[in-house]
Each structure stands twice: as structure tokens, then as C-alpha cells.
Amino acid sequence: MTDKRASKKATEPGAQGTRDTGNHGTASDLITARIRELQDWRGEKLALVRRLIQEADPAIIEEWKWMGTPVWSHQGIVCTGETYKETVKLTFAKGAFLADPHHLFNSGLTGNVRRALDLRAQDELDPRWFRELIREAVAFNETHPPKHRRPLIDAGTGEESQGTPK
């Protein structure tokens, strides 16, 4: 029986992390393809937030989950990037625990765990504030590890790992 869990794909030094998605390319490749296939403002917004996320945390891992959702992780899910007809929704897995001093969250405000940022075509996103929110989410994950984390399989060595790529 083969292990169906995502494995870490080795990346060159300085490149963002990614997970191998099997026969369909890396998560980074699939996210790039999604941005290109949108061919409208949603692709532009998704490309913008992707760039800002990578600037905020160069060690972020890009994943492709749930049959087509871009996910950015660092010791747990930081946020997802879903695209809909009228919005690009960035859902922060532990958003309810983040301070959000600039009030970027505008969706899911009553939930106990998640918070979301819905971006519409005309919405402007302050890059400084968004990078700050990403860094806060990463810091939260680093200080609040999940109780049960599945081990990752390093594609280069075949060994189990618990952390993020070095």
C-alpha cells in the first residue's frame, strides 16, 4: 500500500516550500495554473496575495487540498485561497485568535476559530497590513502546535519529519 499523504518536495535554497501532489505537479505549479486559468481580476488578486504571503514568510509551504484549494501552511494551516464568482476568499484557519488591528477580516466574524477576508474586484488590500496578518498567523501556529500532526515524508530521504522545510 502506498502512502497517499502529501510529501515534502525538495526546493532550492531561498525558494518557498511546496508539497508534491503526486502525478499532477507540485502545489506551486497547480496554484500558478489556477491563477492563469482565471484570466480575470480573481487571478490578479490571487497572484497578489500569494506574492504577499511569500514575502511575509519565505518559509511558507504551498499546498493543494480539497480537490483544488490553494493552502499556505507553516506549522499548520495559515490560510486558504478560494475563488468564487464575486470574491477571492482568504480563510485563516485560526483567525479568531489573531488580533487583526487593521480590521482586515470581513467575513466569518462570529465563528469560534476561523476568520476570512473576502476580496472583491474593486477592493484594495494594504500590503503592509496583510503581511503583518500573515506573520501573526505564522507566529500563532509556531506557539500553538496542533495536538496531532501527521508526519510528513521527505521526498529526498523517505524519512518522516514533523517540521517545516529548512
**Per-10-residue mean pLDDT, the chain, length 166:** 34 42 78 96 98 98 94 97 97 97 96 97 98 98 82 64 50
The strand pairing partners of 79, in sequence order, are 72, 92
Tell me how crowded residue 14 is: count the other CB atoms within 10 A of its CB: 6
Q: Cα dihedral angle (25, 29, 30, 33), rounded to 10 degrees?
A: -130
Place of cell 477592493: 123
Q: Return the pLDDT at 151.
A: 64
pLDDT of residue 66: 87
- Please state the domain extents for the chain: 7-159
* pLDDT at res. 85: 96
HEC string for 88-114: EEEEECCHHHCCCCCCCCCECCCCCCC
What is the pLDDT, as a whole number, of residue 121? 98
Pick the CATH number of 7-159 from 3.90.1150.200, 3.40.30.10, 3.40.190.10, 3.90.170.10: 3.90.1150.200
Instruction: Please identify which residue in the block is written with the cell numbers 485563516.
Output: 92
Type of residue numbered 105: F
